[in-house]
Structure 1
Amino acid sequence: MEKIETIEELYQRKFDWMPENIRNEMGHFNVFRLEPFVGDKAKPVPYKRRDYFKIMLVVGKSRVYYADKVIEVQKQALSFSNPQIPYKWEHTEQIRSGAFCIFNQHFFHQFGRLNQYEVFQPSGTHIFELSDEQVEKVNEIFDRMFQEINSDYIHKYDVLRNIVFELLHFAMKMQLSSKFDKQPINASQRISTLFLELLERQFPIDDTHPHVQLRAASEFAEQLNIHVNHLNRAVKEVTQKTTSQIIAERILQEAKILLKYSQWNVAEIAYALGFSEVTHFNNFFKKYVQQSPVKFRNA
């Protein structure tokens, strides 16, 4: 069976000749048709990296789970995904067509942070039900993306940024029409799963992802747009562990990996894992391992 090329492999192959500083400056952008990724013979969706934003047009009935909410898409919708806001889509066999573009923060480095816009904020609106007329307009915008990315125009990525902003403002001018139905059944399981996914998206720590961004339970709750007590109850119910305990265990696991396999010194590792002081990291590590980070590394 032919191996599906991931988006990381695509970029490595496509831009391997390019110096790293230029690749970072340019950022990543791509656009895809949705048809190959839905139905009985669907291919894996070719993006897994934690740093990708995504805008997707979905034509067809579907259901979206997010934390303790269920969003019923009756006909067609436009969605906006922040790397820190995971969704679970269901009923993809009923999705008929669509398109999506993916990009990272570097692609918009000259325009500030993307999460300043409501559609990419945890408390913002991320799913927009569309009329047939609106679908035609959004399809036209995506068609222009495909035309532009396949062109030889030297400044085509500047044009593509403008097209992305056009989609963004098109959505923000709309009024939400999707229904958000609270579903108590399995809500704790969904919240716990999303929490664990957010936690895991921060790892592994490396040169391209040099430090964790979410450490406290309240920070995870803010990303999920729920109260921290709600998060704590859900995680405890499903995992039999506290939120703080799970976070500490994952931080400790990454600390051991960095101490054993990286060339970073202890201060660099402490900063990467979200500790403001090296002594705080040393005390944390000793609490769970009964030896200092230096002794663990030398052992």
Structure 2
Amino acid sequence: MEQEVTSDFASELKLRGFRAYEICSDSPVMRNYARKDFFKICLNNGRNIVHYSDKSYDVEGSLLFFGNPHIPYSWETVATSYTGYACLFSESFFRQGERSESLLHSPLFRLDGTPIFRLNDGQRQYVSSLFQRMIEEQATGYAFRDDLIRNFIHLLIHEALKIQPSESLPESRNASSRLTRIFFELLERQFPIENAGQPLRLRTAQDYAGGLSVHVNYLNRSVKETTGKPTTSHINERIVTEARALLQHTDWPVAEIAYSLGFEYPTYFNNFFKRYTGETPTNIRHRKV
């Protein structure tokens, strides 16, 4: 169901921090955006299996979904015909409103929440009207257009807060393999590194366990059981891969690369890199292609 966009869509989304659009089963285009940067609210009419964090939910009918870019999620559209709406927005866009608090603290977006809501016909019609108004307003030149759109987002959030979240039983067939898969999704979402001034948010197995709302021992046991290697090994190997790419394809000083990968001091990074590759970062830099 992740129907996505042309380059114009992606450019406007990045520039404005917001975009609303209609979903339909016969849409001829795929829209691409950096999901790790945007929150998502989606209304879908049909049957869907939604995977959120380490759980899966089978939902029939109209559903309202709230996606947090910091939590792995995906879904499968089972129905052959479906309709709906979606909007994407950055936290900075939303927080420009005077009444806006951090989305990360909202019960709709928090790590241990269940951000999936079944809607009756009346709720579906009302929510649809809010999406339609957002789509209409984003095309206008009204000076306070963004404020008005933020008001519609607030109305969506408050409507959801009045509805009891869906509590369908998880479908996970193998808890360890499912947790391992979303660990890898969360790991990959941190890459590629695009800004040397913003270091990795998650650096250790404990960080990832916190991000997934599980105990670190449970995460380690699941990853080791599924892959045969410890969680830390996967994290470090991915950091080494990114380090090689940065050394070969950017002009960033080694100290900046070290900082961007979560190392407080360049010497720590040098020792880490040599332990895993047998070479120093400088040697790799000299072979830069």
Range of TM-score over shorter length: 0.7 to 0.9
1:58-109 deviation per Cα after TM superposition (whole angstroms, max 9, x unaligned): 1122221234422121322111111121223124325621110011223134
CA contact (8 A) 2:196 2:260 kept: no
CA contact (8 A) 1:66 1:190 kept: no
CA contact (8 A) 2:9 2:31 kept: no
**Cross-structure match for 1:108:** 94
Mapped partners of 1:255, 1:6: distance in 2? 31
* Residue identity opposite 1:56 in structure 2: C
**Cross-structure match for 1:170:** 159
CA contact (8 A) 1:141 1:163 kept: yes
TM-superposed deviation, 1:113: 3.5
**Cross-structure match for 1:117:** 106
1:82 to 43, 55, 68: 68
Deviates more, 1:44-53 or 1:130-139: 44-53
1:66 to 27, 34, 52: 52
1:113-160 deviation per Cα after TM superposition (whole angstroms, max 9, x unaligned): 321212111112211122222112211211211121122212211211
CA contact (8 A) 2:273 2:281 kept: yes
**Cross-structure match for 1:195:** 183
> TM-score, normalised to structure 2's length?
0.87
**Cross-structure match for 1:276:** 264
Aligned-residue sequence identity (percent) comes to 40
Mapped partners of 1:158, 1:289: distance in 2? 51
**Cross-structure match for 2:33:** 47
Equivalences for residues 1-299 of structure 1 within 5 A: 6=5, 10-12=9-11, 23=15, 27-35=16-24, 38=25, 43-94=29-80, 96-110=82-96, 111=100, 113-181=102-170, 183=172, 185-207=173-195, 210-299=198-287
Mapped partners of 2:139, 2:203: distance in 1? 41
TM-superposed deviation, 1:187: 3.0
CA contact (8 A) 2:6 2:31 kept: no
RMSD in angstroms over aligned alpha carbons?
A: 2.6
Structure 1, gaps ≥5 residues long: none
Aligned in 2, Cα 1:5/1:232: closer, same or farther, shift over 3 Å?
Answer: closer
Aligned in 2, Cα 1:117/1:68: closer, same or farther, shift over 3 Å?
Answer: closer
Deviates more, 1:242-251 or 1:282-291: 282-291
Mapped partners of 2:151, 2:241: distance in 1? 42
TM-superposed deviation, 1:212: 1.7
TM-superposed deviation, 1:56: 0.3
Aligned in 2, Cα 1:92/1:9: closer, same or farther, shift over 3 Å?
Answer: farther
* Residue identity opposite 2:87 in structure 1: C
> TM-score, normalised to structure 1's length?
0.84
TM-superposed deviation, 1:50: 2.0
